[in-house]
Amino acid sequence: MLPGKCGQDVDKRCLKSMPAILANGRTKYYFSQSPFLHLIKQLTMNIKKFAVGGIVAGILFFFLGWLIYGILLMDFMKAHPGTMSGYDKAAPDMLWLVIGNLLSGFLMAYIFTKANVNTLANGFITAAVVGLLMAASYDCMNYGLTNLLSKKMMMADVLAAVVLSGVTGAITGLVMGKIK
């Protein structure tokens, strides 16, 4: 950092446009980009990462959720329900599934933007931890308040959520890391 005008620090990005020596011997510092414009550029970049990351994660949540819950675990979940009956719909309402998965994707993108997650490994670890905490908290409360889940179903759901979130997070982190 270099000393700036009025004791403020000026970072090295501004060196191209400063200093200009005035005729009276004083140094005038000026910037090609004002701090306000730099902030706008940073926010725009974060919004772009957030939007792309949210859509990518939402799509991944939808299709990986279908694979994990709709195909791989479907028989296990039906074999280990809670004592509540009639909670499955005959056919899923796809609109609400799409909305829910997109919202989950945007939650992940928000966390990744704030935590500056931009690699495959960081995405996997961060998302797996968030998936574990979210699924375990939701399932524990559901188990404590309703007859919707059995203990085996709850354990399978938490493990599935960790895998689902981790894989989704890894790919989302990689994609968000490539956005400039």
Please give the backbone phi and psi of residue 110, each rounded to the nearest 5 degrees, phi first: -65, -45
For residue 69, the tally of other CB atoms under 10 A from its CB is 17
Answer yes or no: pTM beyond 0.75: no
pLDDT digit string (tens) for the chain, length 180 residues: 445 444 445 444 444 444 444 455 554 444 455 666 666 766 677 888 999 999 999 999 999 999 999 999 999 988 888 877 777 778 889 999 999 999 999 999 999 999 999 999 999 999 999 999 999 999 999 999 998 889 999 999 999 999 999 999 999 999 999 987
**Beta strand pairing status for 2-3 and 9-10?**
antiparallel
Work out whether the CA dihedral 121, 122, 123, 124 comes out positive or negative.
positive
